[in-house]
């Protein structure tokens, strides 16, 4: 069975006992989580979120620079007042440099990616502090928005406050 | 209790029965899901994903143009071979235009956002087709990568194939 057929079968089971069709669009808990796309992370489970609770933005590394469009929409149009940034241990972003990936793309796909910053990092705690500072300093994020930063440990499932 | 304290309390319960500390970094099912940050969506639940299965990229609308950095990292460095794009009914992206949001930002925060495309859309099915086409045409996405597109119905929990 292909992955998409597996998805459709799993979805049929989910929809059969759904009962959440009357939730409203703005997040009930007025919070937006920014975290990594990593397969080992299930932010709804590790934060105790249910459908309707929170915006969840995910990208490679959970980098906020790459989430700004979504964060502006979340706050300006959907009333969230808090941002929680969560990076994690053993992140792929710790394993390569922009130069590494640009060389690979040039060699294997023959394309020039010099204008793409892949936003890798070499220090996990610092990447969380940097992203929290970036939001606190951004003119697009009103000073009334609370911003905090955490590390999720993929070995233990634990969340550690950082900033 | 603040939202972050609630998150830490929920996380303590999750970590207490974790038992998933030995998962490897590359997604076991070699698939990347791109979907919306909307609070009503829990893609792990509605697709039957467990920790370790799939990269999950989420942003406002589930727009792929805004996910390209992450998709390149997913495929080139972490071995995924399939992309599933999922937009959803009653999406916030159907409710505003770039001009609307730029005017709001100018009036309320006194900032110029003329250079930001917020990627709203006026036709849900078309936005899925557009995003699937964008990936199939992108020089950054190898032709060997399978791309498909779906709509998730927030009233029923059901996934509908589109492209």
Separation in Å, CA of B21 to nearest CA in chain A: 4
B108: exposed, middle or buried (Cβ count in 10 Å: 0-12, 13-18, 19+):
exposed
Asked if residue A135 has pLDDT above 80, the reply is yes
Nearest CA in chain B to A51: B40
What is the distance, to the nearest Å, from the Cα of residue B115 to the centroid of all Cα atoms in its chain? 22
Partner residue facing B15 (CB), from A7, A109, A156: A156
- Within 8 A by CB and 6+ apart from A93, the residues are A36, A60, A61, A63, A119, A120, A121, A127, B73
pTM of the model: 0.98
For residue range A139-158, what is the model confidence (pLDDT) as tens digits? Answer: 999 999 999 999 999 999 99
Contact yes or no for A159 and B59 at CB 8 A? no
Average pLDDT, chain B: 97
Confirm whether the ipTM is greater than 0.90: yes
Q: Which residues of B touch A57 (CB under 8 A)?
A: 37, 58-60
pLDDT for B1 equals: 73
Q: Using CA of residue B38, residue B39, residue B42, residue B46, what is the dihedral sign?
A: negative
Whether B38 shows a pLDDT value over 80: the answer reads yes
Is the pLDDT at B152 greater than 80? The verdict is yes
Per the CB < 8 Å rule, is B113 touching A140? yes
Chain A, 72 to 131: residues with Cβ < 8 Å from chain B are: 72-74, 76-78, 82, 84, 90, 92-93, 95-96, 101, 104-105, 108-109, 111, 113, 116-119
Asked if residue B87 belongs to a known ligand binding site, the reply is: no
Average pLDDT across chain A, whole number: 97
How many Å apart are CA A23 and CA A86, to the nearest integer?
A: 26
The pLDDT assigned to A94 comes to 98
Q: Look at residue A140 in the predicted model and tell me its pLDDT.
A: 96
pLDDT of residue A111: 95
Domain boundaries, chain A: 27-88+122-161
pLDDT interval class at B125 (50, 70, 90): very high
Which pLDDT score, from 0 to 100, does residue A15 have?
98
Nearest to B78 among A28, A92, A159 (CB): A92
Question: Which pLDDT band holds residue A104 (cuts at 50, 70, 90)?
Answer: very high
Q: In angstroms, what separates the C-alpha of B62 from chain A's closest C-alpha?
A: 10
Residue pLDDT, tens place only, B62-117: 999 999 999 999 999 999 999 999 999 999 999 999 999 999 999 999 999 999 99
Distance from CA of A108 to the nearest CA of B (A): 9
User: Average pLDDT in the A19-26 region?
Assistant: 97
Residues 52-71 of A with CB under 8 A from B: 52-60, 66-70
How large a percentage of chain A has pLDDT more than 90? 99
Share of chain B above pLDDT 90, in %: 99
CB contact under 8 A, A159 and B8: yes
Per-residue confidence (pLDDT) for residue B107, from 0 to 100 = 96
Q: Annotated binding residue at A87?
A: no
Kindly tell me if the per-residue pLDDT of A1 is higher than 80.
no
Cβ separation A23–B49 shorter than 8 A? no
Give the DSSP per-residue string, A8-55. HHHHHHHHHT---TT--SS-TT-EEEEEE--TT--HHHHHT--TTSEE
Looking at residue A125, its pLDDT comes to 98
The pLDDT, as a whole number, for residue A39 is 98
Q: Which CATH class is domain B27-88+122-161?
A: alpha beta
Q: What is the pLDDT of residues A27-70, one digit of tens each?
A: 999 999 999 999 999 999 999 999 999 999 999 999 999 999 99
CA pair distance A7, A9, nearest whole angstrom: 5
Using a CB-CB cut-off of 8 Å, the residues of chain B touching A65 are: none
| Set of chain B residues whose Cβ sits within 8 Å of the Cβ of A6 | 29, 48
Q: What's the confidence (pLDDT) of residue B32?
A: 98
pLDDT (0 to 100) of residue B111: 95
Residue A138's pLDDT is 97
Q: How far apart are CA A75 and CA A93, in angstroms?
A: 27
Look at residue A78 in the predicted model and tell me its pLDDT. Answer: 98
């Amino acid at each position: 069975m292909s992955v998409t057929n597996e998805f459709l079968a799993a979805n049929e089971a989910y929809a059969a006992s759904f009962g959440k069709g009357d939730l409203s669009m703005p997040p009930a808990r007025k919070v937006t989580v920014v975290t990594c796309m990593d397969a080992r992370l299930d932010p709804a489970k590790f934060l105790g979120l249910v459908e309707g609770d929170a915006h969840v933005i995910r990208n490679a590394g959970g980098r906020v620079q790459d989430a700004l469009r979504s964060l502006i929409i979340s706050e300006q149009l959907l009333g969230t007042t808090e941002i929680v940034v969560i990076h994690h241990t053993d992140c792929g972003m710790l394993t390569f440099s922009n130069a590494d990936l640009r060389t690979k793309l040039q060699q294997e796909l023959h394309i020039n990616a010099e204008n793409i910053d892949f936003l890798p990092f070499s220090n996990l705690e610092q990447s969380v502090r940097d992203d929290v500072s970036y939001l606190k300093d951004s003119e697009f994020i009103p000073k009334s928005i609370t911003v905090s930063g955490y590390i999720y440990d993929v070995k233990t499932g634990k969340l550690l406050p950082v900033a």
